[in-house]
Every structure is written in structure tokens, then in C-alpha cells.
Structure 1
């Protein structure tokens, strides 16, 4: 695939055909629409996926987990659960539940991102830190956004806790998975498409990643991030949830289409070894560069401190992102390096955050 290729026709079967991104955002799609998709989205890959030799090298080098020294930082992982603060009209509140799971309250809605409340997921040890928000302490969940179908982002036991009428926004090709489990309001979108729920627009945007959940479904569904905008507010706030992604050209394009993003939730962990993960997981320095490419106002790091998914020391992502932020001479208050369970709020008038 050539870098920059974008959405295929979503309503015709067959293989996705790369086309230029639309010059303007298309009209919102209907909630719960049933659609037909290509059999594969492999032409959206930024780089080829590793083959058998790559897996053999990874096993030979022991690159699946940190060494003993890297695991000694587990007691220092930031964890400070607290009650959810109020989120009144015109405000946005972001609470980090851990990994890529956030509780976002915007436009009067409560939205979960990639909710994983399970203690462990397939192929990994148990969580290093508990979930930062107890499930019973959540307000009623209005919507869920899913970035892709990897097990640390799409967790069936957690989703089973949701009412089946919950509005779900998912990548193209993934709605069938949810409908088989009884969910009735599933909206699947292609890159640059959007849908609206009660005045909040959910737009699916590209990422440098891939998808796979079983031996036979590699790239059968799409992957990406989400832009959330409160369209009814006179001064709408824009949130960007990147999901899981490597660094690349899509960040500048997202920033061009959405100038002045108020808060970018960006992954900083699961990046070592670089020869294995560099194309699909940004490291802390790349995350800061992605923030600059986006032209966003604030950044909240995520995708670290919960699961052991790769070989870097467990505390290294935080130390490196703070150092990269300082080298870029960015305002310290605009780096929302929250402990798991903590919240920040953007007020209606105040352009800066409140705790």
C-alpha cells in the first residue's frame, strides 16, 4: 500500500481500493446502519506485517517481556483512584481507567474508550495495576468507541457488562462481532466517516496499526482512532483518542482536518524492541512528535502501566515522555501525565485544565 491511501468504497464487496482522502468530511452516517465491507483491509497497512522469521527472532532474543531490572519498577507505577468529579454543561472531563481505557464525559454523554476492566487478557500476565475506576462507580454509559480488535483493546468480558442498547462506535468490518453478542446499536465507520449521538460527533480517523483476533482474520476489520466533538456547544471541545498506533503521516493530516484539538490521548508504551514494534506502536518521543504534528493543545499519555506487553522497563515510558516534553520546551501543565484513576476537567470558559 502507498502511504496516504485511505477509505475504500464501504458498500461494495471485494478488496479495499486505496483512494485519496475526501476533501471535505462526508455527512454523518445513520446510527446502527448495516453495511457491506471489503473482505480485507490489508491495503491500509502502512508497512508489511512481520513474518515467521520475525517471530522466531523475537523468541530467540526474549523480546516479549522486560528483564528482572525492568520489572522492579512495578511498585512505583502511578495509581491514584479518586471519585469522578462533576462534569457540568460545557465541560469535558477525562478519567484514565488504565491502558487505553478512558471515561470521557462530554456534551452530556459518558463515553468509554476501548474498555478493558478484566484482570487479565489473552496472552499476558495479570494487570500490574488495578483498573482505576470501579465498574459500579461509573455513571450510565451512553457510548463506547473501539479502536481495533486486539485483545487489550476489545475485551469481551467487559463489554458483556454493558446494556445491549448501548451505542457502540466501531471500525469497519467489526459490527458483526458485536451484533452476534446481542448489541443493537452498533455503528461501524470507515476512516474520515462520522456519526452523531445526542449532539456529539464521533469521527473515525486513520492510525498506523493493524487488526487480528484469530488465526484467520488478519486485517479483516479496520483500525483507527476517534475524534469526539460536542457540536451543540458554542465553543465546542474536541478530543482525540488515538487508540493504538505507530508514528507516521496520519497525525499531520488529522491535525489539518481538526485544528485546535483540545486534548490528545496518545499511546506511549509497548514499544520495545523497536525493530519489532516500531511501525505499529509509537515510543514516547514519537508520541510527543505526534502531538506537535496534530497541533493539539494538551496531551494525555496512555497505553502503559497496566499490562506487560513488550520489553521496555515498566516505568521507562513515563520518564521518557516527560524528558521529550521538556526538550520540546512545551508547557508542563499541558502534559496530563495522570496516574491511573485520576481525572482532569476542561471548564466551559477556562482554556486551562482544572483538577
Structure 2
């Protein structure tokens, strides 16, 4: 990272090598230092694109042609028949204090995270429909009117099922928003005034809680001409007392999880995607399947895992309930404590004292 001035930085090279998975670090290896928090809402200059951050090539014409011949974007009739059985159990948001971590799953990748006395929304999508996708199959788990004041929003990347303009229009324009490199302009055009964009391994701080932006195995695109023009990643939220939540956003499985866990040890809860993985040959590089999500939680060293990114929008061909049954089986096979798998119904909450 080359700093050009206090308010203008950046090249497309992150502070760690992105070209290949590293050799396993010895157990005695020192933990990489955390970055000093950057100023909130600073203006940044970024490269024109982030193609060099891809961990796998995007599909070429051959793969697109194969998908046109073989691919399926929706489950069969039997898989769709499970829609009424998707767990849905909305309830009131739990009462919390500054020493409590609580999460409520609103559906898909949208969580209400209470940490360090803050209320943070992740990838908020309260819309019934998103562009190019059938309407959601479960209602939003938390009514917008039931939300407390939102202290911050984190965005993982710019795909429509994670960056939803109609939902974000409901927020006050002075809401602090934390976004990947290159995405601040999208918010500025919508008159948001407190937008902090970060590169991988960078951080900012709000009222004592750290927001660290970390890598993911994914990509970005919102229009026909902006492929990989903005970055993608996940977030590690760390409370002043050390409580820590990792929000993966959208990601395939790979070497980044081990690196994130080394840099951010003691993750109390990992919010990890388990759906939108079939056909596997098409989606493997960008979406974890349930077994890979369990491996990712272990690589991270996370004490608990909460699955997400399933049971809300039908984005791919696996049966609707299959992600849930497979993640439970994978968790059991791994010999992990059942109570540490927070497989919540849409709308449900869990509290970590």
C-alpha cells in the first residue's frame, strides 16, 4: 500500500500477497500486526479495477456456453416443494448492553449485529425482490420499524443481493457506512455523507469498535461495464472488550480463512454462507458449499458458526433445504459441539454474553 497523502492512497496491491496460497505457517510464527485505524470518511484514490485480486479466473465463453447447455438456476419441483418448511421464527430483538454480542438473522446475508454497544447491519436487503431473481421465499425476519437506531452498516460487495438501493434509501444519510475500496462513489451519489472505504487488511474504528476489512474469494459486478471495478471482502468486528464477530459476505473456500484467523484470533462467531453452490463446477470458486463453510469456520479458529446465504432467495439449483441438512451433518462429522452451530431460523436471535 503506497500512501500518497493523508486523504489520498492506494495501489491495487494489498499488504499480503494475493497470487497463491501460502505455505502453512509454523505454529510459532508471530501474528501479523493489525493496521492502525484509518480516518473515517476519508477520500481515497483507487486503481481502475481489481482483477488482480481474483483467486480464480472469471468464467470464459466456454464455461458460459456449458452453463447454457447444462446449467440450472433453480431447483427441481421436489426441491422447491421444501419452501414452506424453511425455518422462520421472528421474535423481538434481544436487550443488550455494551458487553453483549447478539445477532439476529433477517435473511440471506442481512444480520442485525449488536456489538460494543453498536447496532450494525450487514448487507441489508429488506426488499421483496432483487434484480434478476425471483421474489424472496421467506419474509424479512425483522420488521424495519422494529429496528433500533442503526449505528453503522457494512457492505461486503456490490452484487444486488448484498447491496440493495431501496433498503439503503430508508437510512438517514449520515449513517456511517463501511464499504470495499472503490464503492464510496455509489453512496456519495445517493447523498450518504459518512462513507469509509477500505482495502483488504485495513481498518477503521467507530466508538471504540474496530471494523477490519478482510479478503474473500469472490468478485464484483453491478452493470455490464463495471466487472471488478470495486473490491469485495468480509468484515471482522471487534468490540472494545475484545468480543469478535466475522461476517464473510459472499465467498468461496480457500486460503484466506487461515490468514484471517491468524490475524484475528479468538473469533467468537463466524457468519458464513452455505447456499447458492449448485452446479458446483460453475459456482465452486465464489460460493462455499456447506461442508466448505464448516472447514472455513475451523480454519478461522471461530468458536461458533452461524450459517447464512440460504433460505431467502433462490439463486441456484440445490434443493431449498439441502444447505441446512448438509451443514448440520458436516458439523457433526467434524466432531464440533452442537450448541456452537447457531443454525438460526430466519428472524431468530442469539446472545453471547
TM-score of Structure 1 vs Structure 2, range by shorter chain: over 0.9
Partners of 2:190 and 2:277 in 1: CA distance: 32
Give the secondary structure class of the aligned counterpart of 2:178. Answer: strand
Instruction: Determine if the alignment matches structure 1 residue 294 to structure 2 residue 288.
Output: no
Query: What is the Cα deviation at residue 16 of structure 1?
Result: 2.3
Instruction: Determine if the alignment matches structure 1 residue 107 to structure 2 residue 116.
Output: yes
Partners of 1:169 and 1:85 in 2: CA distance: 24
For residue 43 of structure 1, what is the aligned residue in structure 2? 52
For residue 278 of structure 1, what is the aligned residue in structure 2? 284
Task: Tell me if the contact between 1:10 and 1:36 (Cα under 8 Å) persists in the aligned partners.
Answer: no
Could you tell me which of 335, 340, 343 is aligned with 1:337?
343
For residue 21 of structure 2, what is the aligned residue in structure 1? none
Partners of 2:259 and 2:319 in 1: CA distance: 32
- CA separation of 1:342 and 1:10: change in aligned 2, threshold 3 A: farther
Partners of 1:308 and 1:26 in 2: CA distance: 38
- CA separation of 1:111 and 1:19: change in aligned 2, threshold 3 A: closer
- CA separation of 1:205 and 1:74: change in aligned 2, threshold 3 A: same
Matched ranges for 1:180-329 at <5 A: 180-231=189-240, 233=241, 236-329=242-335
For residue 95 of structure 1, what is the aligned residue in structure 2? 104
Instruction: Determine if the alignment matches structure 1 residue 81 to structure 2 residue 77.
Output: no
Task: Tell me if the contact between 1:91 and 1:346 (Cα under 8 Å) persists in the aligned partners.
Answer: yes
Deviations 1:115-139 (A, max 9, x none): 0000010010000000000000000
Task: Tell me if the contact between 1:13 and 1:39 (Cα under 8 Å) persists in the aligned partners.
Answer: no
Task: Tell me if the contact between 1:112 and 1:141 (Cα under 8 Å) persists in the aligned partners.
Answer: yes
Give the secondary structure class of the aligned counterpart of 1:75. Answer: helix
Name structure 1 gaps, 5 residues minimum.
1-7, 348-355
- CA separation of 1:161 and 1:255: change in aligned 2, threshold 3 A: same
Task: Tell me if the contact between 1:201 and 1:228 (Cα under 8 Å) persists in the aligned partners.
Answer: yes
Task: Tell me if the contact between 2:46 and 2:181 (Cα under 8 Å) persists in the aligned partners.
Answer: yes
- The alignment's TM-score, normalised by the length of structure 1, stands at 0.92
Instruction: Determine if the alignment matches structure 1 residue 163 to structure 2 residue 169.
Output: no
For residue 42 of structure 2, what is the aligned residue in structure 1? 33
Instruction: Determine if the alignment matches structure 1 residue 20 to structure 2 residue 16.
Output: yes
Give the secondary structure class of the aligned counterpart of 2:261. Answer: helix
Could you tell me which of 69, 79, 103 is aligned with 1:60?
69
Query: What is the Cα deviation at residue 15 of structure 1?
Result: 6.8
> What RMSD over aligned residues (CA atoms) do the two structures have, in Å?
1.5
For residue 81 of structure 2, what is the aligned residue in structure 1? 72
- CA separation of 1:252 and 1:14: change in aligned 2, threshold 3 A: closer
Give the secondary structure class of the aligned counterpart of 1:196. Answer: strand
Matched ranges for 1:114-193 at <5 A: 114-193=123-202
Give the secondary structure class of the aligned counterpart of 1:79. Answer: coil
- CA separation of 1:89 and 1:15: change in aligned 2, threshold 3 A: closer
Partners of 2:316 and 2:188 in 1: CA distance: 32
Deviations 1:137-166 (A, max 9, x none): 000001000000000000000000000000
For residue 28 of structure 2, what is the aligned residue in structure 1? none
Partners of 2:70 and 2:9 in 1: CA distance: 42
Task: Tell me if the contact between 1:9 and 1:16 (Cα under 8 Å) persists in the aligned partners.
Answer: no
Name structure 2 gaps, 5 residues minimum.
18-30
Deviations 1:283-321 (A, max 9, x none): 000000001101110000000000000010000000000
Give the secondary structure class of the aligned counterpart of 2:127. Answer: coil
Partners of 1:117 and 1:260 in 2: CA distance: 31
Give the secondary structure class of the aligned counterpart of 1:323. Answer: helix
Deviations 1:197-238 (A, max 9, x none): 01110000000000000011100000000000112x2xx210
